[in-house]
Amino acid sequence: MPLQSWLLDAMEGPTPVSALIHAATMVTAGVYLLVRSNPILAVTPDARLAVVLVGTVTLLFGGIIACAKDDIKKSLAGSTMSQIGYMTLGAGLGPAGYVFAIALLLAHGFFKAGLFLGAGSVMHGMNDEVNMRRYGGLGRVMPITSVTFGLAYLAIIGIPPFSGFFTKDPIIGADFSEHGAAGKVLGTLALIGAGITAFYMTRMMFMTWYGKRRWEPEAHPHESPAVMTWPMIVLAIGSVGAGAFLILNDRLQKFLAPVVGVPPTSEGVFSTAGLVALAFALVGVALAWVMYGRVPVPAVAPRGRPLTVAARKDLYGDAFNESVLMRPGQWLTRLSVFFDNRGVDGLVNTLAAAVGGTSGRVRKLQTGFVRSYALSMFFGAAVLVALLLVVRL
């Protein structure tokens, strides 16, 4: 936020590309660069606060969009935006957050790529259907995909001992101890974000794997071949273990210490913030169960409340860009072209026309008639004589 709107459109690409680029590597390069810029952030507290603000707004923004999307890939894209918000938030917290930002980046690489490949596997089995309202009850027919997807799910919503718990919750915890009162507010928002994460992910789980089969008549879902399931299994192992591996014994912290310095003493793994975040996540899960697990999911989306409608339209990110940037830019371009043709070039052409016109008029004096020349000579001589007389007098 506010430079996010391209991501959802980029989901048009093939799913493995989305998994690699839009989830695991390219988009997180921004977080890497922020952490790399730690010497700059160290001398500018204001910039850090700005980074924290952007991170917090982004994590809520992405989460809200993810809640409203029925397209599984777009919902995951909103989730990616939200998770990157957490990483950015971590990077903005200074030495307390760098390690966790990078840890979440790595763990996110596993679980989000796993989720995307899972989504791809489902689409493979469902004739490239992306609408989750057309899924449902797929857990039985696609056991491997559903289990790996489920492990990644537990990781992203931060259930211990999966990797999200070790990497995301400490960022929320550190948020409370930095930036004074503002930190408390932002920390609370980050906690709400954890609840939102749990909500949209649980919603996705229920809509895809459980409940009634809402398949299109011609859909014949089946488990994907080994070449597709094995990568998901590998990523699932990472989703489960990466967080604990990186954070326990301060492995990543020691590894990164020469670059980003040592964070101030943390509260240990099971911090207060971690437990509160877990509580928020469980509330999110419960809410999603009430809305999507307990009652059947309608195959056609209801109209929804204003926030839902807005979130389906990416919270008007594209509309904002179009009205604030594209339209004025278009007008500026048209105005400039007009100015160049009529103003700058017009001036040149006017000058040329003036010279041409003057010479044309002067040329008319050269009539070729001796009598007109004689007349003008007579007048000229008369004027000269008159002038001489005036000067003499």
Partner 1 sequence: MNGFPWLTVAGAVPLLGAIVIALIPGLPADSAEADRQARNTMAKVLALGFSLVTLVVVIIIAVKFQVGGPNYQFTEIYSWIPAFGVHYALGVDGIALVLIAMSVVLMPVVILASWNDAESGRHSVKTYFSLMLVLETMMIGVFAATDVFLFYVFFEAMLIPMYFMIGSYGGGRRQYAAVKFLLYSLFGGLLMLVAVIALYVYSARSPVTGHHGTFLFSELVHVALSPTVQKWLFLGFFIAFAIKAPLWPFHTWLPDAAAAAPPGAAVLLVGVLDKVGTFGMLRYCFELFPSGAKYFTPLVITLSVIGILYGAIVAIGQQSMKRLIAYTSVSHFGFIALGIFAMTSQGVSGATFYMVNHGFATGALFILAGFLIARRGTDRIADFGGVQSVAPVLAGLFLISGLAMLSLPGLSTFVSEFLVLIGTFSRYKVAAVFATAGIILAAIYVLWMYQRAMNGPVRDEVKGMPDLRPRELLAVAPLVVLLIGAGVYPKPVLDIINPAVRVTMTQVHTTDPKPAHPASNTLTAVQKGTSP
* 239 contact partners, CB below 8 Å, separation of at least 6: 107, 110, 111, 114, 151, 152, 154, 155, 162, 163
Exposed, middle or buried: residue 16 (CB in 10 Å: 0-12, 13-18, 19+)?
middle
Instruction: Quote the least distance from Cβ 374 to partner 1, whole Å.
Output: 37
9: closest CA among 325, 324, 330, 322?
322
- CA 138 to chain centroid, in Å, comes to 30
Length of the chain: 393
Residue 338 or 379 having the CB closest to partner 1: 338
Residue 130 identity (one-letter amino acid): V
CA pair distance 92, 83, nearest whole angstrom: 14
Full DSSP string of 29-52: HHHHHHHHTHHHHHH-HHHHHHHH
- CA 79 to chain centroid, in Å, comes to 10
Residue 337 or 388 having the CB closest to partner 1: 337
Instruction: Quote the least distance from Cβ 38 to partner 1, whole Å.
Output: 14
Residue 25 or 271 having the CB closest to partner 1: 25
Residue 13 or 264 having the CB closest to partner 1: 13
- Residue listed under structure tokens 């050269």: 366
Instruction: Give contact residues for partner 1 (rule: CB under 8 A).
Output: 43, 332-334, 336-337, 340, 344-345, 348, 352
Instruction: Quote the least distance from Cβ 220 to partner 1, whole Å.
Output: 33
Tell me if residue 72 falls in helix, strand or coil. helix
Residue 216 or 345 having the CB closest to partner 1: 345
Instruction: Quote the least distance from Cβ 33 to partner 1, whole Å.
Output: 15
Instruction: Quote the least distance from Cβ 334 to partner 1, whole Å.
Output: 6
Tell me if residue 230 falls in helix, strand or coil. helix
Instruction: Quote the least distance from Cβ 127 to partner 1, whole Å.
Output: 25
Residue 127 or 333 having the CB closest to partner 1: 333
Q: Is the bond preceding 217 in cis, omega lying within 30 degrees of 0?
A: no
Tell me if residue 131 falls in helix, strand or coil. strand
Residue 21 or 332 having the CB closest to partner 1: 332
The C-alpha angle 51, 159, 213, rounded to 5 degrees, equals: 105
CA pair distance 24, 105, nearest whole angstrom: 8
CA pair distance 318, 256, nearest whole angstrom: 38
Residue 309 or 326 having the CB closest to partner 1: 326
Instruction: Quote the least distance from Cβ 329 to partner 1, whole Å.
Output: 8
Instruction: Quote the least distance from Cβ 350 to partner 1, whole Å.
Output: 12
